[in-house]
Each structure stands twice: as structure tokens, then as C-alpha cells.
Structure 1
Amino acid sequence: MSASDSSSNQAVQDDPQVRPLGGVVQVRADGPSSETPARPSMPSATKPEVLIETNLGPIRLRLFPEQAPMTVDNFLTNYVERGFYDNTLIHFVAPDFLIAAGGFRTDYQPIEPRAYIASEADNGLKNVRGTVAMSRDAEHMDSANCQFFINVADNPSLDHQSREDAATFGYCVFGEVIEGMEVVDRISQVATVDREKFPSTPQEQVIIHSIHRSR
């Protein structure tokens, strides 16, 4: 990784906000959290699962409809079942932090999302390693639509803290990686470059071939 890549990642880690709608996810990485994340009470066998097929390997997610019903329904109905994520990019990676995807084609053009949804970040789930959460505009809490990220580390700075404003409302966790975390780690470590509107994007494209329900 070049010096410019390192400085880009440092800038990302120094910014406490997430700004995904312009193609950028910028969030601050904090140390591991000692808190035990809240988990849904729904039996694992009844939770929906999806398989993310990437050019670096598969990643299987289990979703939490009991804790994030609107978010899971939006993800599945508006995007997964419509093939929305086919041939899209993992457009942002930061080692020991997160990888972000779900909004851009391989030509770096944005995909037209459906309507914004209300944030369910206050559902008790934490942004710990291996969880999946919705990206949103840092200044508007109810602005999530199609983009999502996978936490590579515990990121308590992204958790819900209060209802006072968007900065403290947090980012909605709606699932977790149950297979393929080694693929997530591999993606988070790829060499990056800074492109216009795309800082810390993989130098060689990491492509989501498809996301489909596996259960």
C-alpha cells in the first residue's frame, strides 16, 4: 500500500461520520468493545440467510428480522430479490475497520436506489466484528437505502447512543457473517487507491457477482 493509501486510511479513521451517498464511507475506528452485543431471540433456523458471491470468495449472512424488520425487508425485497446487487463493487475498504458495498456498478456509476427507510439503529444490536449494518448520510439518520457495510472490527463509535441527532443515533445492524469472515478479512487488506469521490477503494476491483437468498 502506498503512502497516499495510508494517509487516506488515516483520514478515514479520524472522521467520526459515515458519508456513503457520494461513494465514500468515512468513519472513525475505535478500540474493541468489551460490551456483549444484544442478539435477537428468534431461533437461528428461522432467520433468513443470504449468500454474497464475490470474486474473492463467498460470504454468508444471517439476517435479524426480529430486531430490524424494516431494514431486513428493505434489503431482501427491494434489492436482493430484484438482483440489484449483481455486478456491483465493494467500493471502500479499511483494514481493522470495515468494508462497504451496495451502491455502485463496476464502472463506478451509482445505482438508482429505492426509497430511504427509517433507521432502526436503536434496536440494541452493536457494530461488533462480523456484523452487517446499513450505510447512510452522516447528517440524516433516516437516509439508508441500498448501501451496507461489514464491520471488520468492533466499532462502538457507530453504535446508537442517543436520539438527539444523526451524529449520535448510530448505524443500524441487521445481520452478521456466519461463513466467510476470512473472505471479509482478505478484502479489507487489499491494496487501495484514491479515486475521485472514492477514497480507499480497492486498486483491483472487488466485485459482488450476486447476492441471493440461501434460506
Structure 2
Amino acid sequence: MRPKAILAAALLALANCASLPADPARPRVVLDTTAGRIVLALDAAAAPISTCNFIGYVVFGDYDNGSFFRTVVRETNTANPNPIDVIQAATPRGSDDDSRPPIVLERTRDTGLRHLAGTVSMARGAPDSATSSFFIVTQDTPSLDFGGGRNPDGQGFAAFGKVVEGLDVARRIQRMPADDAEQLTPPVTIRSARLLDAAPAACTQ
């Protein structure tokens, strides 16, 4: 997404919001889902690439009518030696959305962020392959950090923010019915995703 487009959309969001975040490097995004409202605070200071990529999808409405489609629950994820607790979301185009180029992996080794309860992070296969799909961690899960064993390459996943409202909603989604392939049945629709604050400077330069 071009910086000028992000800036224009961010200014519109700013005009419509009631208040500013305490830290302008941590803009908020609200997800209106059929299971409830979830508010994310992004961390542009620690993870600018992932944050600006996410904001780009948000301001163009790419997550609207997308879904939380996958749930992984530690107690039932016994086939993997590094079980996790997450819910994963995608645009309507799916988790392999190739409408935009993939981004560089911001390793937790470098950002200092950790996959604690409420962390929002980018889904990926190989390093530097993430596009739009993201996940929310519902319990502390260090195996998702750099050096952790969840991904065999040991590079971890790119944490870039946290849930500041609605972690109970995320945990409720995690416990909803799913099939043997960890697919929610039915998925939880994301009615809309909206930026509540001005985009950070890192996204508008």
C-alpha cells in the first residue's frame, strides 16, 4: 500500500475517532465480529513492517466480510509436540491471499515482543511469506517466538500488537465448534475492521 493512501485513510479515521491513544506509535484497530468486538493496539515502534502491512489491509476494507476460520486448542492439539492456543483470521480471499506481496518476517528476537495471551501476530508458512492472515494468541505460547519449536525452521512468528479489549471474545471464539482440520464450523465473520487512530509516521513516509 502506498504511503499517501495510508495517510489519507488514516486522516479520515482520525477525524472520526473520539480520542487518541496514549502512544501514537500504537494505533488501535477495532474488529466487529459476529461473536463480539475485539480491539487491537498495534506496535509500530517494535514491528513497523507488520503493523503498516496490517493497517494497509484495514484501511482498504480487505478484512470486511473476512472471518476467524481456524481455532487451535492446546488440549486437543496433541499431534504437535508444541501445542498452541490461537484463533486465525483471513480476508474473504482466504489465508493464502496473494493480492499483495508478502512481507519480511520481523522476528521476536529483533522486536523484543513475545507471544503472550492477547498477542496478535502474522500467520506464515516459510519466512518472509506472510500477507494478510493473522492470529490472536489466547494463552502465553512461547513456542511461537524466535527459537520456539512450533515452526520447524525455528524463526518464530511476527508479533505486532495485542488485544486491549475483547480477549474474552477471542477465547470464546477459540472454544466454538470445529472440525478435525481445526476449521471453525461455521467461521466467525469479521463484519468490519476499522482504524480508530491516525496511522503512525512509519506508515506514512
Q: TM-score range by the shorter chain?
A: 0.7 to 0.9
Give 1:203 shift.
Answer: 1.4
- 2:64 is the counterpart of 1:86: yes
TM-score (norm. length: structure 2): 0.73
Query: Residue 115 of structure 2: which of 127, 135, 139 is its match?
Result: 127
TM-score (norm. length: structure 1): 0.70
Alignment of 1:61-76 (within 5 A): 61-76=40-55
Give 1:103 shift.
Answer: 4.0
Structure 2 gap ranges (5+): 1-20, 75-84, 198-205
State the one-letter code of the partner of 1:101. Answer: A
Query: Residue 114 of structure 1: which of 97, 100, 105 is its match?
Result: 100
User: Is the alpha carbon distance of 1:168 and 1:213 closer, same or farther for their aligned partners in structure 2, counting shifts above 3 Å?
Assistant: same
1:206 aligned partner: 188
User: Is the alpha carbon distance of 1:208 and 1:119 closer, same or farther for their aligned partners in structure 2, counting shifts above 3 Å?
Assistant: same
Query: Residue 37 of structure 2: which of 49, 54, 58 is its match?
Result: 58
User: Is the alpha carbon distance of 1:133 and 1:123 closer, same or farther for their aligned partners in structure 2, counting shifts above 3 Å?
Assistant: same
Q: Distance in 2 between matches of 1:51 and 1:90?
A: 14
Computed over aligned residues only, the root mean square deviation of the Cα atoms, in angstroms, reads 2.1
State the one-letter code of the partner of 1:150. Answer: I
Give 1:110 shift.
Answer: 5.7
Q: Distance in 2 between matches of 1:154 and 1:109?
A: 23
1:155 aligned partner: 141
**Count, aligned residues:** 162
2:15 aligned partner: none
Structure 1 gap ranges (5+): 1-42
State the one-letter code of the partner of 2:23. Answer: A
